[in-house]
Structure 1
């Protein structure tokens, strides 16, 4: 595991994805402990040479949006902040990764494509004495779940979703930070590449052997069990045609006492699989509770709605509509805070 507790100067690669398709980039800007010196997005940089992060995101540290790594101020880490479906490496990123390594910067990537198995990158990293951190690479000693997460004294809270990219990591971080601001004794269990980069440790469960997904999640919960509240980052959706397996593994490995259902306002079909309509909120509540019950009974206690593309009035209406449908208090965690969710806990 690469040590990330030191404060680094980070350049984030998000070509042609910032901000909407660059979850890792946005997550690091919003929650990461490091200084982001720039974001690489060639499409934005070409059309708007003076573009900045603040032109696209509110309430995050500002930084320039650049077209190439060699345009950035000095940095000691390049982070691949976008992960396409399937986790592949886009060959157009290669010059920026090469430039980073040759300048002496470490490179972090949350892809299924492993940098350390790339012959050129591995050779350059050895020549320039830099680290390549493949964040998705799981530890070698994983095994199946022992079914122990339900025995911890902590209240375990898991974010679940209607789809991928609905705000589960954001909601988990907002809950964790707000709980600590209230003085609660809270822990955070990351299960995805962004959360692991923010926290500096953890297991990215979507690359584990399927038999070991629940075990990897359980390991994280048990490691945080000395806290009163443990907030676990969810992945995927139980109704997703491709990623339901990882969702079920996390659900049964974490054995949550409470769940928060995450959704993007207005989304009606599975992203990238538009022939599959999303289930109604009330259906999802029942599905998650029914699936959890045989292993450990947990309730969906709140909803978290992503309304970033709506104006204020429409956002309020969307939140109220989701709350009525799901039958639980609902908020947009970034826009309106998570006080109601913490109260529900």
Structure 2
């Protein structure tokens, strides 16, 4: 499928969905829409991902099948400055795909236009209607379950999940990512965006995902969300932890980050303490040790990044890597799988 990615003012640093699709998706990205960097190319900003031109508006995009909203602001609302691009996409006969809490299908203008132009408005965060509370059965699946967890939001959990999956597959292991966020659902074509699910049903939603994926795969990498000590998003983190009942945990962190992003008065605990916190909260339902760590060293030069990863591994007492920069070696993969 040929797509355009909308990422106004946020590309690449705050456009997780756009970058995730460029790195791991099988869609053909024909353009990224960002008025701030228009005229550049994707690879001018992000190396080793699918390349595409960056353009100012949907008017500058070549023929595509769909427009994907590649950013999700805090709170997940629709930004009105995006309206002209979405309107143009629908009028051109393109589907529009979004992972917002504000559903495109509920917008009178967009829904009317979509009907007129025979387009689909796909809201990735719209959950199934038949969810229920967890039965506590995910721990019995016939597959190894690994959960990526973080010290903060945007700490590399989705990236770690896909890099671990790819490393496992390269070594002949039948591995799959279990998607729990809008980007993962978009990449995989299935899943449930857990942060949109009624709180009582969130663990049940994760349980369903794990049990479904376990029917076809030997190793499941469950994509974590939020962080356990996050002042806003700890609820979804706990639901995923208890719903998945994982066998092992991988702790993801951003090099140099000492406070919760956007909540700078909330300090991130030392990583060894954070690992113990995750293990303690998991303990009533699952014996799930932190067996590895991943570190986002994007802000560091190579030598400093190498030192930071070594220090992080020493602090956690387990193997660690920056999976994008340094890959996943056999020693780390062995403890994960």
* TM-score band, normalised by shorter chain: over 0.9
- Map of 1:254-293 to 2, 5 A cutoff? 254-293=244-283
- Map of 1:47-62 to 2, 5 A cutoff? 49=39, 51-62=40-51
- Map of 1:102-141 to 2, 5 A cutoff? 102-141=91-130
Aligned Cα root-mean-square deviation (Å): 0.7
State the secondary structure of the residue aligned to 2:214.
Answer: coil
Q: Note if 1:232 corresponds to 2:232.
A: no
1-side partners of 2:53 and 2:195: how far apart?
32
Q: Which residue of 2 aligns with 1:80?
A: 69
- Map of 1:124-203 to 2, 5 A cutoff? 124-203=113-192
Q: Note the C-alpha offset of 1:110.
A: 0.2
* TM-score normalised by structure 1 residue count: 0.96
State the secondary structure of the residue aligned to 1:308.
Answer: coil
State the secondary structure of the residue aligned to 1:305.
Answer: strand
Q: Note the C-alpha offset of 1:341.
A: 2.6
- Select 1:19's aligned residue among 12, 18, 22: 12
2-side partners of 1:265 and 1:343: how far apart?
24
Q: Deviations over 1:287-309 (max 9, x none)?
A: 00011011111110000000111
Q: Deviations over 1:61-112 (max 9, x none)?
A: 1100111011011111000000010001110000000000000000000000
2-side partners of 1:186 and 1:63: how far apart?
29
2-side partners of 1:287 and 1:169: how far apart?
21
Q: Which residue of 2 aligns with 1:4?
A: none
Q: Note if 1:313 corresponds to 2:303.
A: yes
State the secondary structure of the residue aligned to 2:73.
Answer: coil
Q: Which residue of 2 aligns with 1:327?
A: 317
2-side partners of 1:53 and 1:343: how far apart?
34
2-side partners of 1:207 and 1:189: how far apart?
16
Q: Deviations over 1:255-311 (max 9, x none)?
A: 000000000101111011111011110011100001101111111000000011111
State the secondary structure of the residue aligned to 1:302.
Answer: strand
Q: Deviations over 1:25-52 (max 9, x none)?
A: 000000001100010111112xxx3x00
2-side partners of 1:335 and 1:30: how far apart?
13
* TM-score normalised by structure 2 residue count: 0.98
Q: Note if 1:249 corresponds to 2:242.
A: no
- Map of 1:284-303 to 2, 5 A cutoff? 284-303=274-293
Structure 1 runs of 4+ aligned residues shifted over 4 Å read none
Q: Note the C-alpha offset of 1:187.
A: 2.2
Q: Note the C-alpha offset of 1:337.
A: 0.8
Q: Which residue of 2 aligns with 1:5?
A: none
Q: Which residue of 1 aligns with 2:31?
A: 38
> What are the ranges of 5 or more consecutive residues in structure 2 without an aligned counterpart?
none
Q: Deviations over 1:120-172 (max 9, x none)?
A: 00000000000000000000000010000111121100000000001100100
1-side partners of 2:212 and 2:168: how far apart?
19
2-side partners of 1:123 and 1:153: how far apart?
46
